[in-house]
Structure 1
């Protein structure tokens, strides 16, 4: 399992990018300030030590005796400067300070004072200095110039806590000042985009949808406006298609009915029956084609439908006709749908199960936030390639074109269109042990 750091949403990516850039900028800022503070500390402690050492070396070169100084200077030398012919010993509990020693050696070289060896030590901070809020450390710098050792004791401020606290407060302030407005702007842009995504995933054939509210930045508003116009054009095209199909259906049904009346006058009974069967087949095929074309575009209103009650009523109707249709486990679940269309889709699936799978068993289940109306049969099942092909219009599992044995091949296509128009989907799956499950999955209202 890999760790995903880069978020997927617009808000997440924007906030993550800004937060990462702020963190990098503050890290660089901290490194530069910390380096500058260290240089300042070295200059404070090392510069004072170098000045005292150079002054003492110049006094020795001029032959100025220590005894000629005043008592005040003598006390200062006793406290801060020690000149000896023996190497300087580090104070107890002192730690070596190589950075300070290197800095002092460099300053001495710049002042043309040739020091054979430079050492530096730092003592721990005094406890009372930490309680007062100003922490400093005593440092001892020793330089060997010629045959003599010059040791200087001075004080330097400690680094770290004040700088870290300042940078922490600065970082939090920057995050609040930058991320809060960015979050607001990103949310203002992402909320309409989420509504647009949900609308785009919906069925474009639905006629009762209202236009999306144009909100957010100008670019997002333009996108929503274009989507509303696009959906309005689709609705207009579908309305034109319905009017055209209605006219075609009316124009075809009228001559078919007239032809049926004339066929009844044919004296040859065998010929008359064949002609009547052909007319009925044409009429049934026309009805199926019109049903497929108009699936999801009827005027029936959506209402609360109990799927367990619907499955029980349909199963009872088939049993009255002497067909093997039974109920299995049915869960009591209610969905928002158009009951007549849903009943038609269920009947199409049951007809296929009875025709190709010997019998049909109806069940209703609820899983993953959706209700599943399942029609199971005991037939041989289908190959995976057949499952996709049979969803298309005029595709038949039975190879002949006889409606008495295989229909027009529109039953599954109509059921799929109805399921999708209700916001769901139709799936076919082979069942372990034999048989096929046709499942209409519909969303369950929250």
Structure 2
């Protein structure tokens, strides 16, 4: 269902307005149609009641004056179907009765003081009623009615009313034809709905476009700033006042963020310079230490501090890379990193790879792969690297054969200074920045890093950890 909904603000608002308008118009059309149907039904029942009253009372009034039958009250003969007298009810077997119309007709006749024993009201098509059909055909022949007009008249709606008076066994049957469809207002309703749709939806579209244009531009600007951190492309405030204030606030936020990043770079540069200088001096001084074992331990400590400092500086710089994007053959880059470990005699295996080229920063991506493979070797003894294409993305998978990570700790393991092994020995040393740096590099390329435990199919036991680095192909 969600896939069918428009994804843009303008599309969703227009859809909401269109659906709301459709519901309102549907309710309006239903009410108008009900009122129209009620009006037609009342008119037809009044016509039928008039003919019944003429038949029952008009004739009695005519006898003293010897007026011709069929011309009650001295007027001209009534047009339409003549009133029929029948010994049987007009109701056919299995035919539904209109009880609502029967109640209304009973009230009309009661108001005229006409005692009625039984009433039957049914709806038919003229062509389904034999007396009405014969009368229409005869009338059509007499007046040379065109066949297509006659066919249309035979499909008209027919109200058949049967009344049996108190003390009488005969039925008085009146037939009233509706020459025009009861849906006469359907076409005006459709035209009205289309006009309202055109005017209202058009006005809403203009307003939403005035709002959505600057919002779309602001969205694009946010996406650009998240990559470039460049203040040169700040937007000019446009649109309604609320949107203008939003753009102004965003521009101010961009400026503040850029200032903070600049301050951070200056501070980190100073830290790197101020720390690396004394560390270099310490390397020289430890050469004067006579105890070789102690000298090696001191050198390892200094190297550990330098590596940690490099990781911290790299993690801080990854958000503002200085090297540009390059069109790179990713499979070749992966193979070259694996070969580096193979040359050092490390147990790194290259799995299936697929050739694919994309825009990326190869220096940073090499750093991420080295960190992930290094973690696999440090904690899992072996590493297997593969590259595949999945749904328009390049997916690098690195599997190890280690103990894995507790499920509730997987997400926190990618935070800075978080380590699976709390020890700081030479075998598993480090400051816990490798995964954090790899994830930051993946984010920098618009991708993601996901860690999952690998389980044995038969027993479900954890047999290793899988690191999945996904990069969109663009």
TM range (shorter): 0.7 to 0.9
Residue equivalent to 1:250 = 273
Would you say 1:415 and 2:438 are equivalent positions? yes
The equivalent position to 1:160 in structure 2, one of 166, 182, 191, is 182
Residue equivalent to 1:112 = 113
Would you say 1:69 and 2:67 are equivalent positions? yes
Structure 1 pair 356–404 and aligned structure 2 pair: CA distance change class (3 A): closer
What runs of 5+ residues in structure 2 fail to find an aligned partner? 127-135, 137-147, 457-462
**Aligned pairs for 1:154-303 within 5 A:** 155-157=176-178, 159-183=181-205, 185-186=207-208, 189-190=211-212, 193=215, 204=226, 206-208=228-230, 210-211=233-234, 217-266=240-289, 269=292, 271-303=294-326
Task: Identify which range, 335-344 or 201-210, moves more after superposition.
Answer: 201-210
Residues 232-253 of structure 1 show CA distances to partners (whole Å, capped at 9, x for unaligned) of 3222212211110101111122
What is the deviation of 1:417? 1.7
Write the distance in 2 (CA, Å) between the matches of 1:190 and 1:143.
70
Residue equivalent to 2:460 = none
Residue equivalent to 1:342 = 365
**SS at structure 1 position matched to 2:125:** coil
Write the distance in 1 (CA, Å) between the matches of 2:309 and 2:44.
101
**Equivalent residues of 1:204, 1:234 under 8 A apart:** no
RMSD: 4.1
Would you say 1:436 and 2:459 are equivalent positions? no
**Equivalent residues of 1:370, 1:442 under 8 A apart:** yes
**Equivalent residues of 1:295, 1:418 under 8 A apart:** yes
Structure 1 pair 46–429 and aligned structure 2 pair: CA distance change class (3 A): closer
Write the distance in 1 (CA, Å) between the matches of 2:20 and 2:218.
30
**SS at structure 1 position matched to 2:33:** helix
Residue equivalent to 2:143 = none
**Equivalent residues of 2:124, 2:157 under 8 A apart:** no
**SS at structure 2 position matched to 1:406:** coil
**SS at structure 2 position matched to 1:353:** helix
Structure 1 pair 87–235 and aligned structure 2 pair: CA distance change class (3 A): same
Structure 1 pair 411–153 and aligned structure 2 pair: CA distance change class (3 A): closer
**SS at structure 1 position matched to 2:28:** helix
Structure 1 pair 169–319 and aligned structure 2 pair: CA distance change class (3 A): same
**Equivalent residues of 2:83, 2:175 under 8 A apart:** no
What is the deviation of 1:26? 2.8
Structure 1 pair 274–199 and aligned structure 2 pair: CA distance change class (3 A): same
**Aligned pairs for 1:113-128 within 5 A:** 113-120=114-121, 124-125=125-126, 126=136, 128=149
Residue equivalent to 1:328 = 351
What is the deviation of 1:397? 3.3
Structure 1 pair 287–122 and aligned structure 2 pair: CA distance change class (3 A): closer
Would you say 1:401 and 2:400 are equivalent positions? no
**SS at structure 2 position matched to 1:435:** strand
Residues 291-310 of structure 1 show CA distances to partners (whole Å, capped at 9, x for unaligned) of 22222323111112221111
Write the distance in 2 (CA, Å) between the matches of 1:147 and 1:82.
16
Write the distance in 2 (CA, Å) between the matches of 1:384 and 1:110.
84
Residue equivalent to 1:23 = 22
Tell me the TM-score normalized by structure 1.
0.80
Structure 1 pair 255–59 and aligned structure 2 pair: CA distance change class (3 A): closer
**SS at structure 1 position matched to 2:71:** helix
Write the distance in 2 (CA, Å) between the matches of 1:83 and 1:297.
97
Write the distance in 2 (CA, Å) between the matches of 1:156 and 1:80.
8
**SS at structure 1 position matched to 2:18:** helix
What is the deviation of 1:29? 2.6
Residues 242-282 of structure 1 show CA distances to partners (whole Å, capped at 9, x for unaligned) of 11010111112222223333443455555544444433333
Write the distance in 2 (CA, Å) between the matches of 1:176 and 1:56.
54
Task: Identify which range, 176-185 or 358-367, moves more after superposition.
Answer: 176-185
**Matched residue count:** 441
Residue equivalent to 1:144 = 165
**Aligned pairs for 1:70-85 within 5 A:** 70=68, 73=71, 76=77
What runs of 5+ residues in structure 1 fail to find an aligned partner? none
Write the distance in 1 (CA, Å) between the matches of 2:388 and 2:83.
94
What is the deviation of 1:124? 3.2
Residue equivalent to 2:141 = none
Tell me the TM-score normalized by structure 2.
0.76
